[in-house]
Amino acid sequence: MSAARIIPIVSATTPPLASGRQDGLEFRVSPPLALYVHVPWCVQKCPYCDFNSHEANGAIPEREYVDALIADLQSALPLIWGRPLVSVFFGGGTPSLLSPAAVDELLAAFRALAMLSPEAEITLEANPGTVEAAKFSGFRAAGVNRVSLGIQSFNDTHLQALGRIHGADEAGRAAQLAGEHFASFNLDLMYGLPGQTLAQALDDIDSALRFTPPHLSCYQLTLEPNTRFAAFPPELPASDLCADMQEAIEARLAAAGYTNYETSAFAQPGKQCRHNLNYWHFGDYLGIGAGAHSKLTLHDGVRRQMRWKHPAAYLKNIRAGTPVQEETQVAASSLPFEFLMNALRLADGFPPALYESRTAQSINGILPHLLAAQADGLLTVSATRIAPTPRGSRFLNVLLERFLDLG
């Protein structure tokens, strides 16, 4: 679905608008809207993971959680009336812990309540250790048309170091099943793993390519705060070796016909993740489930929400009719940097008109910063497209620092 056009109501001579509008801005048409569904349980918490995930310690409260998600969506409907959902993403945690019947019930509710587009991309994340042929078949019958497998590595030693519950054989079986049941699927891989060599990183890529995945995500392992790896850090490859791994992976995937369309995302032609593209284009998303985040464009500005994070607190507050823990209005002065932080992850960048539609501000307001970055070889700037150069993509943080003072 093409992005809806937002008409910016702003100019150098525009006086402040009436009370209730955000810093003199009015959004008359909203961007495309996606739905994110968070499933917060895992079989085992990985030592590198800083996502909102909790060890299940047995069966998850599926019935109660499905009811809570539907009630959560119902409570949010006044904010999204008349806006079709262009994609759905079940993330986690491990959404594949849900039964196919639960996913079927949820998707039926989304269709009934929220104008789920018939062409919507519907992705479900899965752990190779929690899927089998019957489950994949059930998810597909329920309406899931894309899965994302958290493979991370096809090497047993590295999987053990990462605390994964699956082995290399299970990873291969899950990838094979994904290809048999879904026309579109993603394999998540990591590099820069404890004790990993350049050859081993490329072996993982070659193992993945044997399954001809339409989409690959390749991330460098980083030590995130509040994780077991942060408290007890493993010895990781040197930064120069990780840089060599990144360059070699990019070259290997380019030779195999994949486009590196986003910092860590590679796709065959036409197989980009539409849900994530909406994020990077600074589109809107409603997040339901424990700890889920939302970004919603209303007529008077951009609003962010966060649901209660702990599953028990979330379920309690759903029963009380208060699913949202935090809600803030995004200052108009913050929108330029927030837009650029997302859009400059894309190799193709963005057209100036998209910036103006998503922020309701003229591109002229940031033009000096753009031209300065272009002069330093970090950006290409034209009347139709603003995009990072290869150097700008490689040093994205350096590029983004140029725009920190916009807010």
Write out pLDDT tens, residues 232-255. Answer: 999 999 999 999 999 999 999 999
Per-residue confidence (pLDDT) for residue 10, from 0 to 100: 31
Structural domain boundaries in the chain: 33-278, 332-407
Per-residue confidence (pLDDT) for residue 14, from 0 to 100: 27
Per-residue confidence (pLDDT) for residue 114, from 0 to 100: 95
Per-residue confidence (pLDDT) for residue 407, from 0 to 100: 64
Please tell me whether the overall predicted TM-score, pTM, comes out greater than 0.75 for this model: yes
Per-residue confidence (pLDDT) for residue 406, from 0 to 100: 82
Per-residue confidence (pLDDT) for residue 131, from 0 to 100: 83
Per-residue confidence (pLDDT) for residue 11, from 0 to 100: 31
Protein fold of 332-407: Arc Repressor Mutant, subunit A (1.10.10)
Q: Which residues of the chain have pLDDT under 70?
A: 1-29, 407
Specify the length of the chain in residues. Answer: 407
Rounded to 10 deg, the angle between the 198-209 and 239-255 helix axes is 30
Per-residue confidence (pLDDT) for residue 9, from 0 to 100: 28
Q: What is the 3-state secondary structure (H, E, C) of the chain?
A: CCCCCCCCCCCCCCCCCCCCCECCECCCCCCCEEEEEEECEECCCCCCCCCCCEECCCCCCHHHHHHHHHHHHHHHHHHHCCCCEEEEEEEECCHHHCCHHHHHHHHHHHHHHHCEEEEEEEEEEECHHHCCHHHHHHHHHHCCCEEEEEEECCCHHHHHHCCCCCCHHHHHHHHHHHHHHCCEEEEEEEECCCCCCHHHHHHHHHHHHCCCCCEEEEEECCCCCCCHHHHCCCCCCCHHHHHHHHHHHHHHHHHCCCEEEECCEEECCCCCCHHHHHHHCCCEEEEECCCCEEEEEECCEEEEEEECCCHHHHHHHHHCCCCEEEEEEECHHHHHHHHHHHHCCECCCECHHHHHHHHCCCHHHCHHHHHHHHHCCCEEECCCCEEECHHHHHCHHHHHHCCHHHC
CATH class of residue range 33-278 = alpha beta
